[in-house]
Amino acid sequence: MTSVFIVYLDKELQAKLRFIPDLRDNFLLPHYICPMQKPSNPKGTRDFGPAELRKRNHILNTIRSVFENFGFQPIETPAFENLSTLTGKYGEEGDKLLFRILNSGELVKSVKTEHIEKEDNIAFIQSISKKGLRYDLTVPFARYVVQHSNEVVFPFRRYQIQQVWRADRPGKGRFQEFTQCDADIIGSKSMVNEADLVLIYEAVFKKLGLSNAILKINHRKFLEALVQELNLNFEVTQFTSTLDKLDKIGEAALKEEFLKLGVTEHAIDQLFTIITEEKISLQFLDKVEQAFNHNPLAVQACTELREVVQFAQLENLDLDVRLDLSLARGLDYYTGCIFESVVPDSGIGSISGGGRYDDLTGVFGLKDVSGVGISFGIDRIYEVMANLNLFDDHAPSDTILLCHFDEESRNYQYGIAKTLRSKGMAAFIFPDTKKIAKQLDYANKRNVRFVLIAGGSEIESESVTVKDMISGSNTEVKIGNLSSYLIDQGAKVN
């Protein structure tokens, strides 16, 4: 099993680990002092400067506002969970991508080192690692619901915006640390919930300007029906995890994968005949039901999807919603409707996904509590919007800068900055007594629109000169009228 570990071991274990090559490379071991190297980020992570964060916050605030408009409430959970909470919930491939945290302190002393001597790597790993960074927000949410079941009011509509970590191979649109925005409804089996999630997709994409986004929907019962109709002699989870590779490896390579699993060429041809993609409608669902020979599982899926179509009035939406029978979503806990959204020709994979999970809380002791949810990947949405030039890179900052000529005018401006902030406007004073040209150059680099300038004459007349850096205009304004003037000109009030 490939695993990634963080935190150092004690010296005794370090010494022993150095003699086990296949373990040694998976641990962070101290090195001898070496010449200073140029600092860099760990692979799969990034820094965000003010310009990037302004754009990311635009995405986050947009999604948050839509979630709250649909009655969702926020929660947060810890960055790391007990490994027993995380393992076994994402399938074999998902478990391999968990970041495990090495024990430290007193826990290290209890490690049974005979596992090292016997080269029992799995047992050794389990003995030194009890926690892991969260892989997603859904499993921690299920744990939260069970742990706080006496406080939660069902059906519980929660949203959560936090970072997650996966030891995946970094690539375009794929990171080891990234931010997810989740919305889930738990404690209700009604298809009204799925319809609400479709409408959330429409609202978010419309507000972000992603007019060509596509929402793909499928149902796990269709996938179970395929296993029955094609007489496949292996588990549904094996089928879905294999089918989920279609977008990554293509149709030819996927056929090879199925052949290795013992699927006949005839069954594979049947599969690719059935897994079509078309705009979802009541008429298309009728055709799908016939294509599955009215298999009971497929009939159930069609019945539920018809409710979603009718509740959300899909034929009237601006959003392109399609039934994609090849959509698998590899996570093991999905049981009903599943979702995935993409932006065609963006060069990025899915930007959101989710689905129905009927008994995820059951693994934590709370049975028969069905839930459904979706998750937006902020980092991928950012990449797509940047590629499509949907950000206004020249949008001025909402912050007001106050400039001055000397210590006296700086002290005068300092009081004005405090007054503006008390009225809800972002404002700060240039701290040093530099030439006005230098201060205005700073304002340009900060992309500040409104600069307030004061010298001896402004102090005497109890005013400031408001310089609009976009139009270049200069207007002298009395202090008593300043806040209302700035608001009239477009200054933002928080």
* pLDDT value for 424: 96
Tell the residue number behind the tokens 């008429």, with chain if given. 283
> Within a domain: residue 394?
no
* Listed residue (166, 232, 108) closest to 377, CA to CA: 166
The pLDDT tens digits for 395-422 are 888 999 999 999 999 999 999 999 999 9
Angle at which helices 296-312 and 220-229 pack, to 10 degrees? Answer: 160
When mean pLDDT is compared across 7-21, 79-93, 150-164, the lowest value belongs to 7-21
> Within a domain: residue 90?
no
* pLDDT value for 131: 92
Residues 356 and 468 in one domain: no
Tell the residue number behind the tokens 């209302």, with chain if given. 484
Domain stops at, among 333, 359, 387: 387
The pLDDT tens digits for 86-118 are 988 887 778 889 999 887 755 555 555 655 555
Q: Are 4 and 101 in contact (CB under 8 A)?
A: no
* Listed residue (151, 147, 106, 154) closest to 130, CA to CA: 106
Split into its structural domains, the chain has a count of: 3
Residues 378 and 420 in one domain: no
Residues 118 and 142 in one domain: no
Q: What is the CATH number of the domain that holds 461?
A: 3.40.50.800
| Amino acid of residue 447 | N
Q: Are 360 and 138 in contact (CB under 8 A)?
A: yes
Residues 163 and 278 in one domain: yes
SS (H, E, C) the chain: CCCEEECCCCHHHHHHHCCCHHHHCCCCCCCCCCCCCCCCCCCCCCCCCHHHHHHHHHHHHHHHHHHHHCCCEECCCCCEEEHHHHCCCCHHHHHHCCEEEECCCHHHHCCCCHHHHCCCHHHHHHHHEEEEECCCCHHHHHHHHHHCCCCCCCCEEEEEEEEEECCCCCECCECCEEEEEEEEEECCCCCHHHHHHHHHHHHHHHHHCCCCCEEEEEEHHHHHHHHHHCCCCCCHHHHHHHHCCHHHHHHHHHHHHHHHCCCCHHHHHHHHHHCCEEECCHHHHHHHHHHCCCCHHHHHHHHHHHHHHHHHCHHHCCCEEEEECCCCCCCCCCCCEEEEEECCCCCCCCCEEEEEECCHHHHHCCCCCCEEEEEEEHHHHHHHHHHCCCCCCCCCECCEEEEECCHHHHHHHHHHHHHHHHCCCCEEECCCCCCHHHHHHHHHHCCECEEEEECHHHHHHCEEEEEECCCCCEEEEEHHHHHHHHHHCCCCCC
Prior bond of 50 cis (ω within 30°): no
| Amino acid of residue 202 | E
C-alpha 100/C-alpha 80 separation (Å) is 9
Confidence bin at 11 (pLDDT 50/70/90): low
| Amino acid of residue 295 | N
C-alpha 49/C-alpha 33 separation (Å) is 31
Say whether pLDDT at 130 is over 50: yes
Within a 10 A sphere around the Cβ of 136, how many other Cβ atoms? 18
Query: What does each C-alpha distance from 269 to 255, 287, 367 come to in angstroms?
Result: 9, 19, 39
Residues 445 and 323 in one domain: no
The pLDDT tens digits for 201-210 are 999 999 999 9
Q: CB burial class (10 A; 0-12, 13-18, 19+) of residue 491?
A: buried
Residues near 244 by beta carbon (within 8 Å), at least 6 away in sequence: 328, 329, 330
For residue 407, the enclosing domain spans 400-488
Say whether pLDDT at 3 is over 90: no
278 has which bridge partners?
Answer: 323
> Within a domain: residue 334?
yes
Angle at which helices 246-260 and 265-274 pack, to 10 degrees? Answer: 150
When mean pLDDT is compared across 169-173, 261-265, 490-494, the lowest value belongs to 169-173
Say whether pLDDT at 31 is over 50: no
Confidence bin at 212 (pLDDT 50/70/90): very high
The pLDDT tens digits for 302-312 are 999 999 999 99
| pTM for the predicted model, two decimal places | 0.83
Residues 304 and 439 in one domain: no
Residues 150 and 265 in one domain: yes
Residues 381 and 240 in one domain: yes
The top-scoring range by mean pLDDT among 316-330, 387-401, 409-423 is 409-423
Residues 127 and 155 in one domain: no
> Within a domain: residue 480?
yes
> Within a domain: residue 92?
no
Within a 10 A sphere around the Cβ of 233, how many other Cβ atoms? 9
Within a 10 A sphere around the Cβ of 179, how many other Cβ atoms? 18
Which of 164 and 87 is assigned the larger pLDDT?
164
> Within a domain: residue 117?
yes
> Within a domain: residue 91?
no
Residues 371 and 426 in one domain: no
C-alpha 22/C-alpha 122 separation (Å) is 12
Q: Are 190 and 363 in contact (CB under 8 A)?
A: no
* pLDDT value for 109: 56
Residues 191 and 127 in one domain: no
> Within a domain: residue 392?
no
* pLDDT value for 267: 84
Tell the residue number behind the tokens 């995820």, with chain if given. 360
Residues 106 and 213 in one domain: no
Query: What does each C-alpha distance from 18 to 15, 103, 127, 129 come to in angstroms?
Result: 6, 18, 18, 18
* pLDDT value for 345: 86
* pLDDT value for 125: 64
Domain stops at, among 339, 356, 387: 387
The pLDDT tens digits for 340-353 are 999 998 888 899 99
Domain stops at, among 327, 356, 387: 387
- pLDDT, mean of residues 237-250: 81
Residues near 148 by beta carbon (within 8 Å), at least 6 away in sequence: none
